[in-house]
Structure 1
Amino acid sequence: MSVQEQRRLLDALMGLDRDGDTREGSMKHFTDRDVCKFYIAGLCPHDVFTNTRKEMGVCPNLHSDPLKIVYDTLDDEKKKEYPYETDLATTLDEIIRECDRAILRQEQKLKDSEAEKIQNDPISRQISDLQLKAEKLGEEGNLDEYAKVNAELEGLKMKRTQQAVSVQIPSGAAGEVVQQYGSQSQQQKLRVCEICSCYLSKFDSDKRLADHFMGKLHMGYMAVREKFEELKARGFFPERREKR
């Protein structure tokens, strides 16, 4: 579709005075500098994280549905003449990489907290040692000794539960969740959302989980990840995509 044909389509959609001026030179086209190319390509990151901790502010460029409709009339081969979808894929890739790094950091915090708990708690150290011993006895087929060690192990677990040993609370978001749920056995139930990097707990109610999965941050990262996969499947993706 030529530029003139695209402008005629806009005329049909919006009228000749869509820009407040009927002069040909004043009519907008999706290639204009002030038009948001990410919106034209299907997803402006400024839109998906509104009122979240990842807020990007208002997009400085024009979001035009009629211009997007014109762009969408092009087939993928024609769209590849413009850099818009490849640029969008590159930007979404950067957002995903940043989130994935946050997920790894949050998971490491939980691992470090668990390791610190075991190191500082004599009962937890004994349990850890006995678990290794029981596994070895089981592999060797020494069932009598395995039964004795396993009984001792269960006794220690019960003792730890009864004592409700306090744990070192991690900083940041992990600390807030642990403070909410309290005990060390509950902290062990924490996990990191693989979509948005937030902490979740197996003790969360259905409503709390639904609130998380339908929340703006989670839905925003879902939209980013799904759009990136769509662009990649259609052949629009960064030339260099290193393994995370």
Structure 2
Amino acid sequence: MDAIRKQLDVLMGANRNGDVQEVNRKYYDRDVCRLYLSGLCPHDLFQLTKMDMGPCPKVHSLQLRKEYREARAKGVDNYDRELEDAIDRLIVECDRKIGRALKRLQEEDAKAAIAISVSEVTQSPEILELSEKIKEKMKEADIHDLEGKMDLKIRALELVEEMRTKRADQQAVLLLEAFNKDRASLPQPVPAQPPSSELPPPDPRTQEMINEKLKKAEDLGEQGMVDEAQKALEEAEALKKLTVRREPPADSTKYTAVDVRITDQKLRLCDICGAFLSVYDSDRRLADHFGGKLHLGYMLVRDKLTELLDEKANIRKERLGFSSSFLFHCFITVLI
């Protein structure tokens, strides 16, 4: 509720209900969020995720953001350095988490560590083009926001959501293809499971669990929940083979240490947000990951940091060019 209330304050003002005394603020006041003024407050990124920071304790105001941008254009104030420091801390912490996860995977099995760079295999000309369109549309929504054109802003954000969904689907397909190749390269166990007809009957408790799974699958199928029903059937099939899996292999010399560790080799790590992904995930689960708030939030943070660093580099080049031109002009003047 606090988050929703804060969003309404941003859109309609704190006195939208006529029960709050208006405060005459300036953008440079202490209780105004400078990160929001600069374009990205981390408190708004990860709502309802495990990284949720809660509502920002400082004021978010569209009018003050507009005033700040006007002052920034005149060279009066610039809070980009504060924003850069804040999101750099977020990225450093995320990269540390990724590093710790990779180390843990490598300790268990070197081949379980990241074998695929998610950010590389999910980049295609179509996806890069979609990403650029999303950035342009978000800037357009920001402009409409500052101008108070809420209908146009909502329409722009709806288009952003549509393009994000399309991009997530395409990224999932590309990553699934990479996972299929990765999975094919994993060593496969030597022994083969006997046919279902040759499996020994399960114990009464296991048989009861199997029957429950089959009944659940039937009920879900009648409700039209095909994916859930299929999952229940797979769980029932796994229970049927449970007795065989518990038995030791007849000839243990046929197995190697690599075969035993196959289940540990299925995890891969997203190098953008640090989430674990499985090479056995479906394209739908992968698409949900790419479209999730956590992944999108870290994408926005990383893109914003790149934007700030590029802008800083361009300013340095301009200053260097001006200094060189000025020195050259002075040198020519002295010669004359």
- TM-score category of the 2 structures, normalised to the smaller one: 0.5 to 0.7
Q: Distance in 2 between matches of 1:222 and 1:70?
A: 28
Q: Corresponding residue for 2:60?
A: 63
Deviations 1:169-201 (A, max 9, x none): xxxxxxxxxxx9xx8435313211001111012
Q: Distance in 2 between matches of 1:185 and 1:234?
A: 47
Tell me by how many angstroms 1:20 deviates: 5.8
User: What SS does the corresponding residue of 2:312 show, helix, strand or coil?
Assistant: coil
Is 1:210 matched up with 2:287?
yes
Pairwise mapping of residues 139-218 of structure 1 onto structure 2 (< 5 A)? Answer: 160-162=189-191, 184-218=261-295
Contact 1:48 1:220 in 2 (8 A): yes
Q: Number of aligned pairs? A: 159
CA 1:108/1:221 → structure 2, altered by over 3 Å: closer, same or farther? same
Is 1:95 matched up with 2:93?
no
Task: Give aligned-pair identity as a percent.
Answer: 41
Counterpart code for 1:88:
L
Tell me by how many angstroms 1:76 deviates: 5.7
Contact 1:107 1:191 in 2 (8 A): no
User: What SS does the corresponding residue of 2:277 show, helix, strand or coil?
Assistant: strand
Q: Distance in 2 between matches of 1:20 and 1:41?
A: 26
Q: Corresponding residue for 1:136?
A: none
Contact 1:46 1:58 in 2 (8 A): yes
Q: Distance in 2 between matches of 1:195 and 1:47?
A: 18
Q: Distance in 2 between matches of 1:230 and 1:217?
A: 20
Deviations 1:93-126 (A, max 9, x none): 1110010011111111111111599xxxxxxxxx
Deviations 1:121-141 (A, max 9, x none): xxxxxxxxxxxxxxxxxxxxx
Cα RMSD (Å)? 3.2
Contact 1:50 1:57 in 2 (8 A): yes
- Segments of 5+ residues of structure 2 without an aligned counterpart are 1-12, 113-186, 194-234, 236-259, 314-336
User: What SS does the corresponding residue of 2:309 show, helix, strand or coil?
Assistant: helix
CA 1:106/1:38 → structure 2, altered by over 3 Å: closer, same or farther? same
Greater relative contact order: 1 or 2 (C-alpha under 8 angstroms, separation 6 or more)?
A: 1
Tell me by how many angstroms 1:42 deviates: 0.6
Is 1:31 matched up with 2:28?
yes
Contact 2:108 2:264 in 1 (8 A): no
Contact 1:34 1:62 in 2 (8 A): yes
Pairwise mapping of residues 47-62 of structure 1 onto structure 2 (< 5 A)? Answer: 47-62=44-59
Tell me by how many angstroms 1:161 deviates: 3.8
Tell me by how many angstroms 1:162 deviates: 2.2
Displaced runs of 4+ in structure 1, greater than 3 A? Answer: 18-21, 74-77
Contact 2:49 2:294 in 1 (8 A): yes
Q: Distance in 1 between matches of 2:91 and 2:83?
A: 12
Q: Corresponding residue for 1:78?
A: 75
Counterpart code for 1:215:
G
Tell me by how many angstroms 1:27 deviates: 2.5
CA 1:163/1:32 → structure 2, altered by over 3 Å: closer, same or farther? same
User: What SS does the corresponding residue of 1:55 show, helix, strand or coil?
Assistant: coil
Q: Distance in 2 between matches of 1:73 and 1:161?
A: 69
Q: Corresponding residue for 2:142?
A: none
Counterpart code for 1:187:
D
CA 1:115/1:31 → structure 2, altered by over 3 Å: closer, same or farther? closer
Q: Distance in 2 between matches of 1:53 and 1:87?
A: 24
Counterpart code for 1:162:
P
Q: Distance in 1 between matches of 2:71 and 2:88?
A: 24
Contact 2:33 2:59 in 1 (8 A): yes
